[in-house]
Amino acid sequence: MVDNMEVLYSSTRDSSLKVTASQAILKGLSDDGGLFVPDHIPTLAVPLRELADKSYQETAYEVMRLFLTDFTEDELKRCIARAYDQKFDTDEIAPLKEAQGAYYLELFHGATIAFKDMALSILPHLMTTAAAKNHVENEIVILTATSGDTGKAALAGFAGVKGTRIIVFYPKNGVSPIQEKQMVTQQGDNTFVVGIRGNFDDAQNGVKTMFGDRELAAEMAQAGMQFSSANSINIGRLVPQVVYYVYAYAKLLRRGAVKDGEKINVVVPTGNFGNILAAFYAKNMGVPIHRLICASNENKVLYDFFATGRYDRNREFKLTSSPSMDILISSNLERLIYRIAGEDAAKNAELMAALAQSGSYEITPQMREQLADFYGNYADEQETAARIGEMYRSTGYVLDPHTAVASAVYRKYVQETGDETVTVIASTASPFKFTRSVMNAIDAKYDALSDFALVDELSRIGAVAVPKAIEDIRTAPVIHDHVCDRTEMKAAVKGFLGIGS
């Protein structure tokens, strides 16, 4: 039957390659530089109205088993149980909150209060299970570049996990003070955090180069280690993200907010294109989704791409109040490009080569036609701050800047189209992670307060308890103070691993 069909993964740059789900998770990125993609997107086997009564964990199983077909029921259920437990501060795991006529899907109730926890709580378990399945005896070294939220979520997920080490690079001046404090206070002998003098793209490019470095791979193999990736290019991150779109629809059904089969729109504040791609996969699995609304901040490469069919990273990189979206190369877009190119790996590889060489590429009119379900727009800094202030004043609900970008873009969409479809907005971070921007948006007088005084004030005016993730770092000592240039990343890695000279 369809739902038992094995899903294999091929590279977006070489479709002759076929690996199992566990092998794709272990490798992270294909050797040819491509991303692993499922050879077909499975259809939901259980009707959504049945999922309406299921827990997050049960829903996760129903979705993930269809993609990770070489994991046994036992293995998958064990991974899910370990991931979605008391680390989350609500049994619902991903609650829906209605505000001003839209449903905010709160994806920030995990250990590090950003949506990255949704996938990174489970990835270490998927990865160690995958290693055992494939008789890998090497130590797995997770190498990650972060624009702020991935780093801490990956550190929290992998810290202390046997058989793994984790190395995180972040742009030294490109993350919020709370984000930085969260990372540099990370405990665990198997963790290493480095600030680089450069932006997120520099960090990501450095990491990609190390993944492709054969000499380094050989030295690591000699020492009994191998790299893997916790970045959103890993299929083991994408698949768990599909879950909450299925779950959100099922919960809307349960509330009677939609009738069975009624379409919804989904708005996603986007950076690397992982979260919105997961929504696209959910749509292809059978979740009735009408438009996929891609929200960008002032780094609006994706808006321009949807508007013109031309992807062009040659532009000024802007630091904004939504740093996790400060990205000019949205890596996961490659999976969509591959798909709209008719799963033509050669065509995709050609476009990606153009991107690497000249920083831009243009898709064909036939490819563009297949993007009709997507709508792109952006919100500038002023619009984002205004949205936070306005939402707070009219409802008391406090949005973080990333979610505010999505909320502002949703308003533009409704104004432009008059579309009244029930809408889910992915709420990707707790406002406590970006207290200064949030409080300044509510009232400029707050700028005089210290970071932690702001935290307490936000708790008071928003009537929400300070999350444990923030309480924990208030007094935590700094453990990681390593800073390096882009060119020194490899040396830093070798130093931490104790290999080479």
Binding site for ligand PLP (CB under 6 A): 114-116, 149, 232, 269-275, 324-325, 402, 428-429
Is 116 an active-site residue?
Answer: yes
Neighbours of 47 (CB within 10 A): 12
| Nearest CA-CA partner of 242 in 382, 102, 380, 56 | 56
Q: Please, what is the minimum distance in Å from the beta carbon of residue 113 to ligand PLP?
A: 9
Cα–Cα distance measured from residue 14 to residue 341, given in angstroms and rounded to the nearest whole number? 13
3-class secondary-structure state, position 268: strand
Positive or negative torsion for Cα 130, 136, 139, 145: negative
User: Which contacts (CB < 8 Å, 24+ apart) does range 441-449 have?
Assistant: 441/321, 441/384, 441/385, 441/386, 441/388, 441/389, 441/401, 441/404, 442/388, 442/389, 442/392, 442/398, 443/389
CB 484 within 8 A of CB 196: yes
Active-site entry in 54, 87, 116, 133: 116
Give the phi and the psi of residue 386 in degrees, each rounded to 5.
-60, -40
Looking at beta carbons only, is 37 or 484 nearer to ligand PLP?
37
Q: Please, what is the minimum distance in Å from the beta carbon of residue 440 to ligand PLP?
A: 18
- Tell me which H or E stretch contains 196: strand 191-197
Contacts of 163 by beta carbon, 8 Å cutoff, 6+ apart: 128, 131, 139, 140
Q: Please, what is the minimum distance in Å from the beta carbon of residue 259 to ligand PLP?
A: 30
Q: Please, what is the minimum distance in Å from the beta carbon of residue 138 to ligand PLP?
A: 28
Looking at beta carbons only, is 118 or 367 nearer to ligand PLP?
118
CB 301 within 8 A of CB 312: yes
Cα–Cα distance measured from residue 128 to residue 139, given in angstroms and rounded to the nearest whole number? 10
Q: Please, what is the minimum distance in Å from the beta carbon of residue 188 to ligand PLP?
A: 21
Looking at beta carbons only, is 273 or 397 nearer to ligand PLP?
273
Looking at beta carbons only, is 89 or 139 nearer to ligand PLP?
89
The greatest distance separating any two alpha carbons of the chain, rounded to the nearest whole angstrom, comes to: 64
Q: Please, what is the minimum distance in Å from the beta carbon of residue 116 to ligand PLP?
A: 5
Looking at beta carbons only, is 71 or 244 nearer to ligand PLP?
244
Exposure of 132 in the CB half-sphere (CA atoms within 13 A):
10
Q: Please, what is the minimum distance in Å from the beta carbon of residue 360 to ligand PLP?
A: 20
Looking at beta carbons only, is 83 or 114 nearer to ligand PLP?
114
CB 481 within 8 A of CB 192: no
Looking at beta carbons only, is 325 or 454 nearer to ligand PLP?
325
CB 244 within 8 A of CB 118: yes
Q: Edge-to-edge strands of the sheet including 96-99?
A: 96-99, 102-106, 423-427, 264-269, 289-296, 374-378
In order of 47, 204, 239, 272, 277, the CA distances from 330 in angstroms are 33, 11, 18, 4, 11
Active site residues: 116
